[in-house]
Amino acid sequence: MKKHLFNVCIVSAMCMFAIASCSQPAEQKEAPKSMQLRSLIPNENILIGATVNQWLVAADLGQAEHKIDDPSYQLVGSSEQMMIEVGVVPTQFNCVTSENCMKSEVIAPKKGEFDWVLADQFIEYAQKHNLTAIGHTPIWHSQTAKWICHNEDGSLVSADQLKANIKEYITGVYTRYKGKIKGYDVVNEAIEDDGSYRNSLFYQIMGEEFIDWSFQCAMEVDPDAELYYNDYSMSAPGKRATVVELIKRLKSKGIRIDAVGLQTHIGMDFPDLAEYEKSVQDFIAAGVDVQLTETDMSILPNPYTGADVATRFEYTAEKDPYKDGVIPEERLKAWQDRYKELFGIVNKYADHVKRVTFWGVTDASSWKNDFPIPGRTDYPLPFGRDGKFKF
């Protein structure tokens, strides 16, 4: 998903944490912990995860902030909220997803040059706390390093050059973290809701074959890593049908795809969970597992049901009804009940649902506070701004 997050004074807090070893494998044996979400997702085989940003990781490891040469990576929030999240993750989750540090514009900003600092810290953090690590997201139309799709003069690369660039990028990242990452969202958001392919630069240059090539490269570089296709609005029938076709096409070519990630950015009135369940059923029937990869549920009224990060609407007070932090009891109960309905689908298909990851740790770090309407106060995650469980 998107760039962001905390504007924190983390330096003073860093000394509270020690630096951990980097020699452990990707999936750790979980230490006994009382994860409160287990009351809603009781199957111990389902990983329960959160996305962590580079500032949380640095604070936990006691390391100085590694600045990204891009002003759009801004810090928001407070040091107090940051430290609450630092305490929540190791006790309430057993899996973490990299928010930005493995996106190509961050980890490979220039051709032939990799900036490993943030991704290395992410791995170190996961190993320190015995958390399964998930890589997000190698091939995506947003936050893409310019060199992958463009020549130095700004023109688009040829199909052959794009293949070479994708292979170079995937080979570099997957080789370095081989045995340390359980799985990758290899390709992200390549299909529109109507089932057509997104007219991204990847698609303009290579057509739908860029997906097949990306999975093939990933499979060859790290045969043990799980490989996922990840997208939002997966309840849309057109998107569902094309994803099923994609699964079948990859398998027919001998290209491995292990699971489909349903991002699950949902609201109080969207999607129809019957359609959502139909997608879960169809993906499983096509021969893959499913994962909820970026779960959140906005409690606010929303003019948009998708998750395209470029989409924005104008702020109005009526669209921000709980900015004072007071949510009517009946509204909170409705939010809880809808989450429980979603988790009912997870539990029903527990043999094939391998992971439920939330996009953020607490409401304070949720991208939904600024999407699709900037400046709102949302409450989409199971843990509130105070770090307390909301069920």
260 to 146, 184, 231, 322: CA distances (angstroms): 27, 11, 8, 34
Amino acid at 153: D
b vs e for 350-366, b when ≥16 Cβ sit within 10 Å of the residue's Cβ?
eebbbbbbbbbbbbbbb
The helix (H) or strand (E) run that includes residue 168 is: helix 159-176
Give the Cα separation of 250 and 245 in Å (integer). 9
User: Which residues are identified as catalytic?
Assistant: 189, 294
Q: Which element (helix H / strand E) includes 96?
A: strand 95-98
The phi, psi pair for 99, rounded to 5°, reads: -75, -55
Per the DSSP assignment, residues forming a β-bridge with 297 are: 266
Long-range contacts of 85-89 (CB under 8 A, 24+ apart): 85/56, 85/361, 85/362, 85/364, 85/365, 85/387, 86/13, 86/17, 86/56, 86/59, 86/60, 87/387, 88/361, 88/362, 88/383, 88/387, 89/50, 89/52, 89/56, 89/60, 89/129, 89/131, 89/361
DSSP 306-354: S--TT------GGG-TTTTS---HHHHHHHHHHHHHHHHHHHHTTTTEE
Show the CA angle centred on residue 215, arms to residues 214 and 221, nearest 5°. 90
- Yes or no: say if 27 and 131 are a contact pair by the CB < 8 Å rule: no
Contacts with 209 (C-beta within 8 Å, 6 or more apart), sequence order: none
What is the DSSP pairing of strand 259-262 with strand 265-266? Answer: unpaired
Residue with the two structure tokens 């997957």: 174
